[in-house]
Amino acid sequence: MENKVTSWVEHITPQVAQVYLTKNISNRPVKEAIVDMYAQQMLDGQWTLSNDAITFCEDGELMNGQHRLKAVCKSGVPCDFLVSRGLPRKAFNVMDNGYNRTAGNALFMDGVSGSNNVAAIVKRKLVLERKMTIVPGNTSVHGGASGIKVGNAQIVAEYYKHKDDYDRIYRDAKSLYIKSRVLALSDYGGFIAHLNLSIKHPYDTALGFFEELTEKRKVTNDVVTMLRQKIINDKLSQNKMTSSVKQKLIIKAWNVYVSCKSVKRLAYVEANDKDLWFL
């Protein structure tokens, strides 16, 4: 007998979401970082209706949507969702097996030049605002044992909030990266964006620090040369420093640079530098 599948849009409140979650019997493990990311998007008004349905199989069990339903409960924000019912249980085997869309894909569809790099720069800046370190090759943002997700909607909304600034930052970060690959393009752009947009340093000061680091302009503070050598030595070493330690060295060098001070050496000391952040 053929399954009768129905689909319609529902306005799901936290109370309804709680009822639907009672049908969540044999789903995959919940990732709290994803729930938190969705909940924040809902609180920020960034959540929109999409074709990704809250899905129940033929016997009424929840097959898809547990993270979104939990986010509705956590945020307390009612949202519209497409809800499908009556799918065969075997449909679970082909769910979420596709090619995930990225923030870079979304910006590309909008005609943004260098969309993937722009998205990476925006993400880096958002991570820095949370005083965390991003781990290369990982979609989570780590500030400890648990990961915090930065969603595509957050990245796209942040880009359009400061569109002209990010377009300029991308062009300058690309120029820095072409000059020297001592840092990733997203690092150049993300740090400049954080220094300028988040903590309001003059753009030319933030850019100047990294231009000195890449030797695009004359070095005015020896701490920049020390930082450059530390990063180059690390690239040649088999015992790589962690992303967190590298970030702390950049912070230390920046703080010396922007304070117009001088130091005899640049080093990371965990006991002293664990809570260090940008001036």
| pLDDT tens digits for range 226-247 | 999 999 999 888 888 888 899 9
Could you tell me the residue range of the domain that residue 112 belongs to? 103-273
Clarify whether residues 107 and 84 are in a common domain: no
Q: Domain containing 52 — which CATH number? A: 3.90.1530
Query: In this model, does residue 136 exceed pLDDT 90?
Result: no
Q: Give how many domains the chain has, as a whole number.
A: 2
Distance in angstroms (rounded) separating the CA atoms of residues 179 and 167: 19
pLDDT of residue 90: 75
Instruction: Pick the closest to residue 54 from 94, 93, 95 (CA basis).
Output: 95
In a domain, 164, yes or no: yes
Q: Where is the domain boundary, 47, 63, 88?
A: 88
pLDDT of residue 213: 96
In a domain, 226, yes or no: yes
Confidence of residue 159 (pLDDT cuts 50, 70, 90): very high
Clarify whether residues 44 and 111 are in a common domain: no
Clarify whether residues 146 and 177 are in a common domain: yes
In a domain, 260, yes or no: yes
Clarify whether residues 163 and 248 are in a common domain: yes
Clarify whether residues 84 and 196 are in a common domain: no
pLDDT of residue 238: 87
Confidence of residue 145 (pLDDT cuts 50, 70, 90): very low
Clarify whether residues 121 and 23 are in a common domain: no
Clarify whether residues 110 and 71 are in a common domain: no
Residue-averaged pLDDT of the chain: 88
In a domain, 30, yes or no: yes
pLDDT of residue 46: 86
Query: In this model, does residue 22 exceed pLDDT 80?
Result: yes
Clarify whether residues 156 and 232 are in a common domain: yes
Lowest mean pLDDT among 27-31, 44-48, 125-129, 248-252: 27-31
pTM score, two decimals? 0.70
